Amino acid sequence: MSAKSCMCQEVGLLVFPCSGSSDVGELSDRVGRTIAKCGQAKMFCLAGIGAHIPGMIESAKAAKKIISIDGCPVSCAKKTLEHAGFKVESYNLKDLGFEKGKTKVDEDSIKSATSKITGGKIEETISRSSDGCCAK
């Protein structure tokens, strides 16, 4: 896999998904991984920010943009990042039509949520990819 075709090393945009214990937490995590794998952003460690690990805080400060993806209205990812002093572009899967306890985490839901967050850009990347960077 080449970094040029996927932009997999692009670090200007960091994505912090909730990886909570519910179905929508799992979906948030899978969406974040899909976005990162397709070169739209670099996935980063939310727990490291919450624990105030100095190196992780400094790396996050260097980002051009920070995105949080939460699964439910509690918005733990967004609140963790804001508590650490970051300005966040936030997405909540509840607002995108995914219900906690009622969401099947499968390729269709991952693709749907990812497309809603990226404005469909991810679908173009997935469809064009022939080198295995992005899962179909």
pLDDT digits (tens), the chain, 136 positions: 333 333 334 458 999 999 989 999 999 999 999 999 988 799 999 999 999 999 999 999 999 999 999 999 999 999 999 999 999 999 999 999 999 999 999 999 999 999 999 987 655 544 444 344 454 3
Identity of the residue numbered 77: A
Q: Residue 130: what pLDDT?
A: 38
Question: What pLDDT does 113 receive?
Answer: 97
Reported pTM: 0.81
Closest CA to 16 of 82, 56, 63, 67: 67
Q: What is the pLDDT of residue 127?
A: 47
Cβ neighbour number for residue 95 with a 10 Å cutoff:
11
Mapped onto helix, strand or coil, the DSSP state of residue 9 is coil
Model pLDDT, residue 107: 96
Can you tell me the distance from the alpha carbon of 55 to that of 34, in angstroms, rounded to the nearest whole number?
25
